[in-house]
Chain A
Amino acid sequence: MDARIRYSVLLVGVGIILAFLPFDAAQTFQLKSNELLTRSASEVMYFSVDQVARAVNSEDSTVQIIDVRSAAQFKECNIPGSINIPFGDLQNPLWEATLNQKKVKNILYGNGDQTASYTWTILTGLGYPNNYMMKGGLNEWFRTVMLSQYSGEKITPAENARFENRLNACKAFTQINSLPDSLKTKFFNAKRLNQSKLDGGCN
């Protein structure tokens, strides 16, 4: 008798608690609002286009560049090595493993700063780590990397290194985006194979 009453009370209690918990399938932010605001106000989230250009040139495996524009815009041109996760597709479970991981740094970019900022805030709010954004977006990439030129008489080693970095990234961008889609994957595979040969790796 005692046990029955005890279990009954326990069940009623659990029922009351469950009634208070939000049990819909909605995805809500996990971070506290003040914490998200502090992170949003800091500059730590930004990668400059020069840093991204360096990652492109060195095929940095600790970085994953993510284009949050539409598939049509991505097809027209994109940063070499980037993958396309359109903003409207953020909640697609297919991308969960890419966006919510601790291994590589995800660098988000759009045409400007707006879509990437929305995306960064949503992902960070959801508690996904390792998300960053390229400041200025593709417009800044074009302005700084694609239209890069040096007109001075003398060039310092630092300026020379920066200019060379931009020039190489510009070449890679032009080369990869001038190819038909079918050859783009082939190009990257061939480049990796060549690199592994140079590093002394096996096929």
Chain B
Amino acid sequence: MQQLKKIKFVILFIFVILILVIIRNSNQNLFKQDVKSAIEAIQNNSNMLSPDQLHQLKEQWMVVNIGNSDLPDSIHVEHSIKIPFENLLDQTNRKILEGVDGKLILYSADVATASKAWVILNQMGFKNAFILNSGGNREEIKYKFQPDTTARLEQDSI
């Protein structure tokens, strides 16, 4: 008993540290996923779904429109919800996203918005998040560079 009194400050110190570590780990506002998994998914294009793939899904899904424009006609309205991108992580919206049963499909006419939202949600642990690709390959180069075959380095500039 005497010895226990002598070490009570040590125990108290450890207890406080332990509580702080538990609080930190349970903080919903922190990311806990490995970046590598997101990079791999992007490279494999496994985070993208076309409208055709969407309609062939056997499991449940919900389209979250985070853009300013309306959804394409090919998407049924009853399966969609509109959440502005900047309010995506508000407490109410976060609960909605967490409550989605099945796949969570992000849509925005601006592909940059959908891409940023997907990375954020993926790293927060939303493994059911996908991007709806409604308009072909956005990363395809549309112009072909024509080299100037007469271009030469001037002698005095070398």
- A-side residues, CB < 8 A to B, are 1-2, 5-6, 9-10, 13-14, 16-17, 20-22, 24, 26-34, 36-38, 40-41, 73, 76-77, 87-88, 90-91, 110-118, 120-122, 125-126, 137-139, 142-143, 146-147, 174-175, 177-179, 183, 186-187, 190-191, 194
**Distance in Å: Cβ of B114 to nearest Cβ of chain A:** 8
Given the interface pairs A113-B111, A178-B147, the reply to whether A9 lies near B29 with Cβ below 8 Å is no
**Distance in Å: Cβ of A16 to nearest Cβ of chain B:** 6
Closest to B3 in A: A5
Q: Are B157 and A191 in contact (CB under 8 A)?
A: yes
Interface of A (DSSP majority class): helix
Given the interface pairs A91-B36, A175-B151, the reply to whether A146 lies near B7 with Cβ below 8 Å is no
Closest to A41 in B: B86
Q: Are A122 and B119 in contact (CB under 8 A)?
A: yes
Given the interface pairs A28-B34, A118-B115, A125-B123, the reply to whether A177 lies near B145 with Cβ below 8 Å is yes
Given the interface pairs A33-B29, A114-B115, A194-B157, the reply to whether A27 lies near B141 with Cβ below 8 Å is no
Residues on A with beta carbons closer than 8 Å to the beta carbon of B25: 20-22
A75 to B11 Cα, complex, angstroms: 62
- B-side residues, CB < 8 A to A, are 3, 6-7, 10-11, 13-14, 17-18, 21-22, 25, 28-36, 38-39, 42-43, 85-86, 88-89, 110-112, 115-117, 119-120, 123-124, 138-143, 145, 147-149, 151, 153, 157-158
* 7 cross-chain pairs, A with B, having the tightest CB-CB distances, nearest first: A13-B14, A29-B31, A26-B34, A142-B143, A178-B151, A117-B115, A77-B145
Residues on B with beta carbons closer than 8 Å to the beta carbon of A138: 141, 143
A137 to B38 Cα, complex, angstroms: 22
A33 to B90 Cα, complex, angstroms: 11
Q: Are A38 and B86 in contact (CB under 8 A)?
A: yes
